[in-house]
Chains A and B, each alone.
Chain A
Amino acid sequence: MSVRIKDLPLEEVVAPGRGGCPGCAAVIGARMVTKIAGQNTIMVNSTGCMCVNYGYAGAPLFPYVHSLFENAGAVASGIDAALKADNRRDDINLIVYAGDGGTVDIGFQALSGAVERGHRFLYICYDNEGYMNTGVQRSGATPYGASTTTSPLGKISKGESRPLSRRKDMVRVMAAHGIPYTATASIAYPLDFMRKVQTALAIDGPTYIHLLSPCSIGWGIDPKDTVKVARMAVQTSFAPLYEITGGRQFKVNLRPVNLKPVQEYLSMQKRFRHLLDDPIELDIIQRAVDENWTYLSNC
């Protein structure tokens, strides 16, 4: 499968007029998803930025339900079952669009249960690495060293203390469920992301995409730099692009010709500011990123 820009529909299914912050990557991501999915879509949103920034003007042109914070997987299960029972399943795209808090933390059980039961739906986690809607608290996806309001800098704290290697790796966790397709994606690589959405939607079963979504407020970046930061995450292999089919087959989608030092990524964001002149900390992070990249490259 492949996606070409000239084939994308001009119409906007996620209407303009949304109340998201300037440069919100989650909104950019939603627009890309719907360019592929179109109006033949039912979307479930867990509680978070995306369910409040629709406003009234920015209503999507497809049926939509804001579930609760922790149950998007279960609500999608019910929709899938009802469509089947009512002989309406056809080729309706059933998509969950949920934050990392709603996915990695509080919604983990409902998601795990839903994919284990084999419902047909695409679950996209827009990962802004924290609870942003409630004002930037840490989540199970917050990276080592990041300063948030619940992993703050302090006299004896340097931000999030859980090592990068122990951050919950949702893509591999989902792959371990043995589901047909899981992938990482980035808003800085729209054709890659949209191809993944297209691939996932064609599958009659549960699929999962983890979309890195920089948050200008939570990460301390200039709104105009959202895409740049997302691109640098890939080019430093801090957030590599890869997909796993059948729960086993790894494929790295992009191998940067010259991997950039992770410092270049960290230095774009105020949440890591305190680490930049600490060579020991930078080394710890660089080594964790390298290890992960080596692992992936050998998969």
Chain B
Amino acid sequence: MRQYLSGNKAAAEGARLAEVKVVAAYPITPQTSIVEYLASFVANGELAAEMIPVESEHSAISATYGASLTGVRTFVASSSQGLALMHEALFMASGLRLPIVMAIANRALASPVTIFTDHQDSLAQRDTGWLQFYVEDCQEVLDTILIAYRVAEDCRVLLPIMVCFDGFYVSHISEPVDVPDVAQVREFLPEFKANYPVLDIANPKMFNVMAFPQFFEEFQRDKHESMVGSEQVIKEAMLDFERIFNRSYSMIETYCTEDADIIIAGLGSMMGTVRTAIDQLRSTGLKIGMAKIKSFRPFPYQDLAQALKGAKVIGILDRDISPGSTGIVYQEVLATLQETPNKCIVDFVLGLGGRDVTIDTIEKATGILEQVLSGSELKRRVIWVDENREVLDIWKVGETNVG
């Protein structure tokens, strides 16, 4: 059935359709309404689940992994400060190999405080052993949550997954969304049954015991190899999703890349803007294309290399920064260079703390990429493509406005 849903409602609908049994979440802008929708589903009997109104995000993820370890399907949602507070327990969820799915309405991290979007919060959790999918619109939010459960619960994977979407731009924007019916969803995502050890009186096991050096590394290696191997599982799940729901997804989504000299790559809702900008730029004769990185973990190196194969210059849009180094996505793409030699890769940091990424922004970045294409050298490793020149000296601004 077609409904008009915000990204947050779509996320909650995804959890409802997955028939999760336990939800534990704590409110934070811009994720809050996900928690509220789920509470109302439970209150109205539309979702037969236990909702735990925890007292913090640390407890949200802790209660979730406790529940997941007891052998039921679980859902959790967070953002920004809340996600950062979860950090320690994120390793527990992946180390215990629990198929938890978490929705993340991306938001920048303080200080200074902001409630607006960038990808710093989830990218800072890159190495916690969670798969990470970045999605662009409300339909993709719902669909990707279903795909995430299917992948996480596959015995070849058994790892938790974050489904990330931009705060406000996706979380609070409403769009028509096809909401599948439960029977269809069950065909894609069978009823959950843990076919691995859980907290079970009939089959008692100890969890999270001490691993000495002769074991520890192999635990990490297995996690890594399962994540790498999950590429295959994700692809199978996406194909099956298309068969049942007639909507197709891929780990790297390309647009106009076949003949492109310039390709722009990045994550999240801004890639929709890039698509529109490309249409405009193409009409002026520029051979430009786009690669949207939907799966950031596992990072699909080969698929990305394949998509970038023909390009001479590549621009990375980083809605994040690793201070003292570069944008985070840039570093990942650099690692594909082995597979795609002789390319020039430019890092644009943009859209931090909710700064709009507009068609203008993309055209500005493209202008720089065109210069590089015609041979000019860049002086900086990181390009702040949409810098606000009036407040570049933030110390001065502080003196006059804040005192």
Interface string of A52-74 (1 = CB under 8 A from B): 10101001111111111011011
Pick out which of these stretches binds chain B: A108-116, A236-244, A284-292: A108-116
A154–B223 alpha-carbon span in the complex (Å):
49
A70–B86 alpha-carbon span in the complex (Å):
12
Is A85 on the interface with B (CB-CB < 8 A)?
yes
Asked if A61 meets B204 with Cβ closer than 8 Å, knowing A67-B62, A84-B50, A109-B56, the reply is yes
Is A42 on the interface with B (CB-CB < 8 A)?
yes
- A-side contacts of B68, CB under 8 Å: 78, 82
Contact A78 B24 (CB under 8 A): yes
A44–B206 alpha-carbon span in the complex (Å):
10
Taking CB atoms and an 8 Å cut-off, the chain B residues in 52-76 that contact chain A are 52-56, 58-60, 62-72, 74
Q: Total interface residues on A, using CB and 8 Å?
A: 42
- B-side contacts of A7, CB under 8 Å: none
Asked if A67 meets B88 with Cβ closer than 8 Å, knowing A113-B54, A116-B55, the reply is no
- A-side contacts of B21, CB under 8 Å: 82, 85-86
Partner of A92, one of B55, B64, B201: B201
Asked if A112 meets B55 with Cβ closer than 8 Å, knowing A62-B201, A63-B199, A77-B24, the reply is yes
Contact A62 B24 (CB under 8 A): no
Contact A79 B70 (CB under 8 A): yes
Contact A71 B89 (CB under 8 A): yes
Taking CB atoms and an 8 Å cut-off, the chain A residues in 83-105 that contact chain B are 83-86, 92
Interface string of B66-103 (1 = CB under 8 A from A): 11111110100000000000001100100000000000
Is A224 on the interface with B (CB-CB < 8 A)?
no
Query: Nearest-CB distance from A262 to chain B (Å)?
Result: 38
- A-side contacts of B204, CB under 8 Å: 39, 60-64
Partner of A54, one of B55, B70, B198, B209: B209
- B-side contacts of A62, CB under 8 Å: 201, 204
Q: Total interface residues on B, using CB and 8 Å?
A: 41
- B-side contacts of A64, CB under 8 Å: 204-207
Is B208 on the interface with A (CB-CB < 8 A)?
yes
Contact A74 B66 (CB under 8 A): yes
Is B28 on the interface with A (CB-CB < 8 A)?
no
Asked if A68 meets B24 with Cβ closer than 8 Å, knowing A74-B54, A78-B70, the reply is no
Interface string of A96-137 (1 = CB under 8 A from B): 000000000000011011101100000000000000000000
Is B181 on the interface with A (CB-CB < 8 A)?
no
Please give me the residue from chain A that is nearest to B21 by CB atom: A85
Is A157 on the interface with B (CB-CB < 8 A)?
no
- B-side contacts of A54, CB under 8 Å: 206, 209
Query: Nearest-CB distance from B201 to chain A (Å)?
Result: 6
Partner of A86, one of B72, B203, B208, B210: B72
Is B233 on the interface with A (CB-CB < 8 A)?
no
Is A75 on the interface with B (CB-CB < 8 A)?
yes
Q: B residues near A, CB below 8 A?
A: 21-22, 24, 48-50, 52-56, 58-60, 62-72, 74, 88-89, 92, 198-201, 203-210
Query: Which 4 pairs, one residue from A and one from B, show the smallest C-beta to C-beta distance?
Result: A78-B66, A113-B55, A78-B63, A74-B59
26 contacts between A and B (CB under 8 A): A39-B201, A51-B208, A51-B209, A54-B209, A56-B209, A62-B201, A63-B198, A63-B205, A63-B206, A64-B206, A65-B207, A67-B62, A67-B66, A71-B58, A74-B58, A74-B63, A75-B65, A77-B63, A78-B70, A81-B24, A81-B52, A85-B48, A86-B70, A86-B71, A110-B56, A117-B52
Using A68-B89, A86-B70 as known contacts, list a sample of 10 further A-B pairs with CB atoms less than 8 Å apart, ordered by residue number in A. A67-B66, A67-B208, A71-B89, A74-B54, A74-B60, A74-B62, A78-B52, A78-B68, A85-B50, A116-B55
